[in-house]
Structure 1
Amino acid sequence: MLGVAQRSPRQSLFSILSFSKSGSKSSEPKSRNGNSPKSQPRRRSRGSTPPPPKPVSRRSPSVEQRQGIDPGRSESFDPLLSQLRQKRSAPPPSRKPRSQPGKRSSRGTAAPSIIPFPQSSAPTAVRSRRSPVAQFSPSESLLPPGNKPVKRVRKKRRVSPMVYATRLLILGIGIGVISGTILSALNALGRSSAEANQTVSLTAEQQKSLNANSSNSLAQSLQLTQEASDLKTAILGLAKDSPKLKPGVFLVDLDTGNYVDIQGELPLPAASTIKVPILVSFFQAVDEGRLRLDEVLTMEEKHIAKGSGELQDKPVGSKFTALETATLMITNSDNTATNMIIDRLGGIESLNQQFAFWQLKQTQMQNILPDLEGTNKTSAKDLVTLMAEINQGKLVSVKSRDFMLRIMQQTRNRSLLPRGLGEGTFIAHKTGNIDSVCGDIGLIDMLNGKRYLVGILVEREADDPQANELIRQVSSTIYQYFDTSTNPQPSTDPDEVQDDQP
């Protein structure tokens, strides 16, 4: 194929510059785009070789080529080129740094834009011309020539008074909420501290009023109506036969509210009956979530106690669940298990605070088990009152109450209250026995539907066995009093007796 060769702008400019050096000008007519008619390539055959290009002196690219100026217009600047050739011998004048680098000059000042770059023989001039360009910041290049940079001042936006009012309202609400929270917390702390101080330090009059209110609340929980005088007389007759003994008896019929009180509020050594309020505290902690029945307790050296129980023979570090430990505390009267429960519930002081909160006036602990000296105190009325609260589901949940009664039903020592009951009678009880006192507290369900609570504590000297016998006799007397089927009253109606004859 035939191709059309076009002269590049670089070759046309170099040809113009070389022609001007020789002092001659082209007189050939030029086309509209500035190229000569001879510049059009001739058609050649496929076998012909193209003529070799004319050697052109290599020079640095001109400003026209870099700025995209049409090289055909360079002939109009021949007078300028002749002036430049005359001044080439003189050093180029130093240019002032441009105020607006990066902007092209307008068409009115097009003469400096055609000045070619200096030859490689003067590299210092190139550095002097380009160095000021790097000193200008991009922000200054955007400004018009001859103008100083102007700082833009942002006008403040005017805020509506409603916005201010809304902000103040939100701020006030936030401050109010924070202040209220702080004040309520301080109030709760102050109230709890005041209640604690009031509990610790009570005046004599306040103590009397508290005792009066306690008696009223106990009467309400026990639902006391009237004292069974005939039963009381029978029990006092049994006590007169053993003058060396000091019994404390309290009985209440849960169906009618009849009761018997024989020195029921007398504080006596608690022995192992103190484990009943400890068991109540244990199940209360379970109900409140402070303790789990499957929680594992570890037996430590400080827990081991002599006396009753089998855990004292176990090695230190043995582990038992909380329910197993509480069960052994009641069924076997295990002193080591009791000390483990006391430790888990927070110690003696914590238990005494609970006993006072339950309004047990005579119940207080001084030492861990075994308390052979009898420093831990309680009364028959306190124990019966506590069991009445349990029966009504006031201190613990119904589920915990059922747990307690099942555990107390399994008490192995059945030598006191159970010995005075008839066959098939249900009893949930806890015994206590040291040299100075013996006792038993229990809830009894008879086959005839009668339910009653009885607590008996007998103070004695040197482990006198008559105290145990007295408890058995009192238990039998009470059972016979409520069981009319066991001891039927003889009929006084002659017709009935006659009818019974064959």
Structure 2
Amino acid sequence: MQFEQVKEKIIACFQGLEGNQSVCVSTPDGELTHHEDQPVSSASIIKIAIMLEALRQVDRSALTLDQVVEIEDVNRVEGAGVIYHLGKELEWRLTDLIHLMIISSDNTATNQLIDLVGIANINHTMKGAGAFHSKLMRKMMDREAVKAGKDNMMSGKDTYLLLNQLVEQHLLSNSSMKWAIDVLLQQQFKDKFTSKISTLKKNTLAHKTGELAGVEHDAGILFTSRGPVIYAFLTAGLLENRYGRDAIANAGRLLYDFYKED
């Protein structure tokens, strides 16, 4: 099968969905896009940007990965993650909070990191990567902010641009790029891109997922023998979440099968 054929099949996975989809894929054979500049509710995909800004501050020696970060009560929220359910006397390092934010999408860790690195700095870093259609406007589980019309937004193209910072050195040091990829490789949520792939080779997929009611996202870097494949599959406005998960799973299987080694 030729790349153009795979490209058409992947785009077709999203064309039948209701709501808004924003898809951007960069491969060694070319790009694949579908409404790539359409901003949608980011769900937990925005946590990629928070990690980038935290690591930028580590590179500048403003922070260290081993420093202890106190979790403030105001930042303890429910939803994804485990910190909310654990004892307040526990001690957390910056490295722990970033890992939990990415691999288990911990909302409490995320909110504390937002306070630590600053919303304005996170948005500045996104713009520095060329992500002009994306913005962090609220913390996780802030329902009042959502009611007031404040939501975190990202587009498929912007998500690609942020992930591209981990393979092309621009905003981060080489060591921070490798560290971030290692964290993304430990992703625990596997119900979208990987769900229809029977055997995924270890250290092949570094990714982040996100979901809310009517929203399903998966974005990451697929490492192949021909070079990295960076993808962002964002779906929003879904009648039922399972439709978005299924579209991403079908697209992921097509992309993986095209680049897997025989």
Q: CA deviation at 1:463?
A: 4.3
Distance 1:304 1:463 in 2: 29
Where in structure 2 are the equivalents of 1:28-177 lying within 5 Å? none
Q: 1:350 to 1:423 in 2, by over 3 A?
A: closer
Distance 1:427 1:415 in 2: 14
Where in structure 2 are the equivalents of 1:414-429 lying within 5 Å? 414-421=190-197, 422-424=199-201, 426-429=204-207
Q: Does 2:234 align with 1:457?
A: yes
Distance 1:380 1:420 in 2: 22
Q: Does 2:237 align with 1:237?
A: no
Distance 1:371 1:431 in 2: 19
Q: Determine if contact 1:295/1:321 at 8 Å carries over to the other structure.
A: yes
1:419 aligns to what SS in structure 2? coil
Q: CA deviation at 1:361?
A: 0.8
Distance 2:159 2:116 in 1: 23
Q: Does 2:176 align with 1:400?
A: yes
Q: 1:434 aligns with which of 204, 209, 212?
A: 212
Q: Does 2:114 align with 1:342?
A: yes
Q: 1:243 to 1:273 in 2, by over 3 A?
A: closer
Gaps of 5+ in 2: none
Aligned to 2:140: 369
1:46-94 Cα shifts (integer Å, max 9, x gaps): xxxxxxxxxxxxxxxxxxxxxxxxxxxxxxxxxxxxxxxxxxxxxxxxx
1:406-431 Cα shifts (integer Å, max 9, x gaps): 11111110111122444316100000
Q: Determine if contact 1:275/1:329 at 8 Å carries over to the other structure.
A: yes
Q: Determine if contact 2:129/2:161 at 8 Å carries over to the other structure.
A: no
Distance 1:482 1:409 in 2: 18
Structure with higher RCO (Cα < 8 A, 6+ apart): 2
Q: CA deviation at 1:460?
A: 3.0
Q: Does 2:185 align with 1:413?
A: no
Q: 1:246 aligns with which of 20, 25, 36?
A: 20
Q: Determine if contact 1:427/1:442 at 8 Å carries over to the other structure.
A: yes
Q: 1:482 aligns with which of 240, 244, 259?
A: 259
Distance 1:338 1:243 in 2: 30
Q: 1:443 aligns with which of 197, 203, 221?
A: 221
Q: Determine if contact 1:460/1:467 at 8 Å carries over to the other structure.
A: no
Distance 1:464 1:323 in 2: 32
Gaps of 5+ in 1: 1-227, 486-502
1:303-349 Cα shifts (integer Å, max 9, x gaps): 11110111012344542111111111111100000111111113x23
Q: 1:318 to 1:299 in 2, by over 3 A?
A: farther
Q: Does 2:57 align with 1:285?
A: yes
Q: CA deviation at 1:380?
A: 1.0
Distance 1:404 1:234 in 2: 31
Which one-letter code corresponds to 1:432 in the other structure?
Answer: G
Distance 1:415 1:480 in 2: 17
Dislocated runs of 4+, deviation >6 Å:
none
Distance 2:168 2:250 in 1: 28
Distance 2:88 2:223 in 1: 41
Aligned to 1:213: none
Which one-letter code corresponds to 1:457 in the other structure?
Answer: L
Q: 1:269 aligns with which of 41, 62, 67?
A: 41
Q: Determine if contact 1:406/1:428 at 8 Å carries over to the other structure.
A: yes
Q: Which has the higher strand share?
A: 2
Q: Which has the higher helix share?
A: 1
Q: 1:386 aligns with which of 138, 162, 172?
A: 162
Q: 1:297 to 1:243 in 2, by over 3 A?
A: closer
Q: Does 2:77 align with 1:305?
A: yes
Which one-letter code corresponds to 2:47 in the other structure?
Answer: K
Question: Number of residue pairs matched?
Answer: 253
1:428 aligns to what SS in structure 2? strand
Q: 1:327 aligns with which of 99, 108, 118?
A: 99
Distance 1:484 1:246 in 2: 33
Q: 1:233 to 1:462 in 2, by over 3 A?
A: closer
Identity of aligned residues (%): 21
Q: Determine if contact 1:434/1:463 at 8 Å carries over to the other structure.
A: no
1:470 aligns to what SS in structure 2? helix
Q: CA deviation at 1:358?
A: 2.7
1:466 aligns to what SS in structure 2? helix
Q: CA deviation at 1:432?
A: 0.3
Distance 1:277 1:371 in 2: 18
Q: Determine if contact 2:17/2:238 at 8 Å carries over to the other structure.
A: no
Larger radius of gyration: 1
Q: CA deviation at 1:357?
A: 2.9
Stretch moving more, 229-238 or 428-437:
229-238
1:297 aligns to what SS in structure 2? coil
Query: RMSD of the alignment, in Å?
Result: 2.0
1:441 aligns to what SS in structure 2? strand
Distance 2:100 2:17 in 1: 36
Q: CA deviation at 1:247?
A: 2.2
